[in-house]
A and B are shown apart, each in its own frame.
Chain A
């Protein structure tokens, strides 16, 4: 069975500071990893994915994530946070290309001015 853990319910950061949203995963096969962002009463927007290749993945809106196989982690990062980045962030994993997605519980990111 596959699973995702987002250990933080909420992350608070000041605008202009770097941010990290943590994610660890568990799959039996090859992990396909995703980050999505959700604004209030909206669907999910895709940020980035890791399938294979370079461990550092760059995505939308200046976000990036680093795949660490030994630590089974896929933390989301951004060098300089914006107030508009405040939203709910979900990490998701799929065991291979065609299985179903399993989501973490979500982490609320609050960026203060």
Chain B
């Protein structure tokens, strides 16, 4: 099956710093990528939809200036959490969709902000 990777898998940073998370589709071209956030024992909440070559579409309540998304190529999308604070600590999961219907999920990135 299709593979989506995320890097890093785990990151710890100090409050006020910025963190970049990469999401790559390894064996297919992803026209659309999605970024989700998952709190402990909670469901996945869609943060934004990322289309290659265009600006991301953010869900209501998600600060676009805080969560910067770049979809520079058909295989790479990045999420940058700017000026991170402890409340940004979470599990971030990306997914990628090819020209079909299925979404392929990355393994997730655990962000801890001290």
Kindly list chain B residues whose C-beta atoms are within 8 Å of the C-beta of A101. Answer: 34, 46, 103
Q: How far is the CA of A49 from the CA of B100 in the complex (A)?
A: 13
CB of B78 closer than 8 Å to a CB of A: no
Q: Are B101 and A32 in contact (CB under 8 A)?
A: yes
Most chain A C-beta atoms within 10 Å of own C-beta, residue among B95, B103, B110 = B103
Bound complex: CA A49 to CA B43 (Å): 19
**How many residues in B have their beta carbons less than 8 Å from beta carbons of A?**
22
The residues of A that contact B41 with a CB separation of less than 8 Å are 106, 108
**Number of contacting residues on A, CB 8 A?**
20
| 26 pairs from A and B in contact (CB 8 Å cutoff) | A32-B101, A41-B91, A41-B110, A42-B107, A42-B108, A43-B4, A43-B93, A43-B105, A43-B107, A44-B93, A44-B95, A44-B105, A46-B104, A46-B105, A49-B101, A49-B102, A51-B101, A90-B43, A100-B46, A101-B34, A101-B46, A103-B43, A103-B44, A105-B42, A105-B43, A106-B41
Given contacts A36-B105, A46-B105, A106-B41, could you give 12 more A-B pairs where the C-beta distance is less than 8 Å? A32-B101, A44-B105, A49-B102, A90-B43, A90-B44, A100-B34, A100-B49, A101-B34, A103-B43, A104-B43, A105-B42, A106-B42
| Those 9 A-B pairs whose CB atoms lie nearest each other, nearest first | A44-B105, A43-B107, A43-B105, A105-B43, A43-B108, A103-B43, A103-B44, A97-B101, A43-B106
